[in-house]
Amino acid sequence: MVYHLHITRREFWSYTASGLDITADEWRAVVDADPDLTWRPERGPHAAEWKGPTTAAEPFLDLEHGNVIAKNPDHRLIDKMVSISEILKAKVQGLDGELYGACGAPLPKEPKMLEKIAGFLMPRRRR
């Protein structure tokens, strides 16, 4: 099974939101400034390979539709994506909207507003 992670500025990676795209110029600046990233134009005009320690079969990052995408990244490549996301003032998000932090682990899910309200309004049980 293929699983993609996205460096995105959008609330949800697949939404289109004007002004939230990571631009080709921004991505180019990140890759050009990072000695561990190497352009791989044979994979596409915005594809870069990460040369860091990884067990990922294809440690490539590619700019597609305003997001930087990696296919089946391991925890080390996810860590690299998190550091890149900080530079781009973005976040790392999986296909289902889960967010990732350092150590390649999904972050705890933030409760939705209705869940917060329901938790506040629920009668407290007596002990």
- Work out the number of other CB atoms within 10 angstroms of the CB of residue 124: 5
**Residue among 7, 3, 4, 27 at smallest CA distance from 82:** 7
Q: Where are the domains of the chain?
A: 4-121
pLDDT mean over 17-39 = 93
The whole-model pTM stands at 0.79
Per the model's pLDDT, the better-predicted residue between 66 and 116 turns out to be 66
Task: Decide if pLDDT at 2 tops 60.
Answer: yes
pLDDT mean over 44-65 = 95
Phi/psi region, residue 72 (left: phi>0; alpha: psi -120 to 50; beta: rest), is left
pLDDT of residue 19: 74
Task: Decide if pLDDT at 127 tops 50.
Answer: no
- Work out the number of other CB atoms within 10 angstroms of the CB of residue 60: 20
72 band by pLDDT with thresholds 50, 70 and 90: very high
Rounded CA-CA distance 12/97 in Å is 6
